[in-house]
Chains A and B, each alone.
Chain A
Amino acid sequence: MQHYLELVWYKTYADLRVEASRGYLGIFWWALEPLLYMGAFYIVFGILFQRGGEDYIAFLLVGLVAWRWFDNTIKLGASSLIANMGLMQQVYVPKIVFPTVTIVTNTVKFLVVLTILLVFLLFYGIDPGITWLALPGLLAVQLLLIVALTWLVSVIVPFMPDIRVIIDSGLTLLFFISGIFFDIESLPVQLADYLRLNPMATLIESYRKVLVQGVWPDWGMLGVVVVFSVIVVLVSLRLHLRYDRQLAKIGLAG
């Protein structure tokens, strides 16, 4: 067990090294790429559509940063086993190692972007209040949700590769209904309650409350996200244990 934790750690280091060695700007892309991405959204929704008003940039960026961590990790996690098929036929490694490496790698990159976001918020004129103390808690809840879903999709996709299309479309749909560029609160109550069934909507609302509005999040709703995530984690662990040695065979089939 300890050996595999060491392995996850070293493989993460290796993958990050590889990314850092790519291109002339290397490690700066971890910051630059998300900045360009967020810039594009700002141009469309902040300038062209004239949405929002006061604090709209802060409002938008908080949502986008949290969303990207979720979206990238799940998409890469979905193909993490397929990408390592060759390796898993040469040596025995618990297959859950691969999506876990994806999660850790993406989380490190996310933390870089989060730091930039927090610095930006300070310069933007937002006073860090006592509610910023809730941030580590929110990050922990989102990490748990990401672990749950990434472990789950990683074990399903090798058996049903086509499902990746559904995952991608599902994420696109979630992207539009998670309240990234609009405030769920401003919708009719009934509709808003439906949209809040989506755990990312709850998380994004909570980040905004804590970071921008200086209010405590809805702990009850976050508790629901935790319970949901724990259930999915348990199911995913069972699936991984059950199919651990079946997965290596998939790449061998003609």
Chain B
Amino acid sequence: MKGKPHGERLASLKNIGVSYRRRGGLHRQPPYWALEDVSLEIYRSETLGVIGRNGVGKSTLLRLLAGIINPDKGTIHFDTHCNTSLLSLQVGFIPQLTGRENAVLSGMLLGMRRKDIEARMDDIISFSELGDFIDQPIGAYSTGMRARLGFSVAFQVDPDLLLFDEALGVGDAEFREKSACAMRQKIRSNRTVVLVSHNSQTIRNLCDRAVWIDKGSTRLVGDPDTVLAAYTEMQKSS
């Protein structure tokens, strides 16, 4: 059943606004509102797609759901205690440390316990295809190798609510295919996911519902086909 929420409600956002203080000399500038009026609900085990043009506040929305920032107006409410995680790659990577040490550090920053990361180290090594390089300082890695390690670590995080921005770069073409495939599996599983994408096809294929954000406000929430049709219509006309 696409478009109709099923399962219990996980979180609700009501008229959320987020403002950033602009920096500038002694004169106080008016704040910049990255989100002005966003309302939506998230249900357990659904995949919610977020679509919208660049700079309409999609990243801010993910940061808000991840608990990195607080709203300046409106309310955000989680119905049950739920840990959320924004999938970020190569968080806190330090060039002088080995791949293994960076995996532990990055995993801990993403909210995993140290012993859980160490228990999954074999998976990380095999997925990243790094082999013995895992014990080399990552400063000696190629960009692609670092990206592979970054994804393999972030992929181990198992939150109740997974937040994912498709615009993340994950290295060379071959690994991109592999990681995208793994990600799709994770999204299709019974997990709750909020997915930001520029690609209508991705949203259509993966999401149960979609929300269209425009100029910091929710324009439309519903089944992906309806929302995408309206979004495409608007893009044509402008």
Contacts and interface: CB of A to CB of B under 8 A. Distances in A.
Interface of A: 3, 6-7, 10-11, 14, 17-18, 21-22, 87-93, 245-246, 248-250, 252-254
16 contacts: A6-B108, A10-B105, A10-B114, A14-B94, A17-B96, A17-B97, A18-B97, A88-B68, A89-B68, A91-B110, A91-B111, A92-B111, A93-B109, A252-B69, A254-B22, A254-B23
B21 A253 contact: yes
A105 B113 CA distance: 21
Contacts of B104: 10
A245 B67 contact: yes
A93 B109 CA distance: 7
Given A249-B20, A250-B21, A253-B21, A92 B67 contact: yes
Given A3-B108, A87-B91, A253-B22, A17 B69 contact: no
Interface in B145-169: none
A7 B21 CA distance: 30
Majority-rule SS of A interface residues? helix
B88 A91 contact: yes
Contacts of B97: 14, 17-18
Interface in B55-85: 63, 66-70, 85
A97 to B, nearest CB: 10
A139 B127 CA distance: 47
A14 B92 CA distance: 10
Interface residues of B, number: 31
A23 to B, nearest CB: 12
A3 B147 CA distance: 26
Interface of B: 18, 20-23, 32, 34, 63, 66-70, 85-86, 88, 91-92, 94, 96-97, 101, 104-105, 108-111, 113-114, 137
Contacts of B18: 249
Given A245-B69, A248-B68, A248-B69, A87 B109 contact: yes
B108 A10 contact: yes
B140 to A, nearest CB: 12
Contacts of B20: 249, 252-254
Given A6-B108, A249-B20, A90 B69 contact: no
A246 B18 CA distance: 11
B23 to A, nearest CB: 6
Given A14-B94, A91-B111, A254-B20, 17 more contacts: A3-B111, A3-B113, A6-B113, A87-B91, A89-B63, A91-B66, A91-B68, A91-B91, A92-B66, A92-B68, A93-B109, A245-B68, A245-B70, A246-B69, A253-B22, A253-B23, A254-B32
A233 to B, nearest CB: 24
Contacts of B66: 91-92
A93 B96 CA distance: 22
Contacts of B108: 3, 6-7, 10
Contacts of A7: 108-109
A246 B105 CA distance: 24
Contacts of B91: 87, 90-91
Contacts of B105: 10-11, 14
Contacts of A21: 96, 137
Contacts of A17: 96-97, 101
For A87, A93, A246, the residue with the greatest tally of chain B CB atoms inside 10 Å of its CB is A93
A27 B94 CA distance: 18
Given A91-B68, A91-B111, A253 B32 contact: yes
B158 to A, nearest CB: 14
Given A7-B108, A10-B114, A249-B20, A87 B67 contact: no
A2 to B, nearest CB: 9
B63 A18 contact: no
Query: Would you list the 4 A-B pairs with minimal beta carbon distance, nearest first?
Result: A90-B88, A253-B20, A245-B70, A21-B96
A81 to B, nearest CB: 14
Contacts of B109: 7, 87, 91, 93
Contacts of B68: 88-92, 245, 248
Nearest to A9: B114
Nearest to A252: B20
A108 to B, nearest CB: 17
A69 B67 CA distance: 35
B13 to A, nearest CB: 16
Contacts of A91: 66, 68, 85-86, 88, 91, 109-111
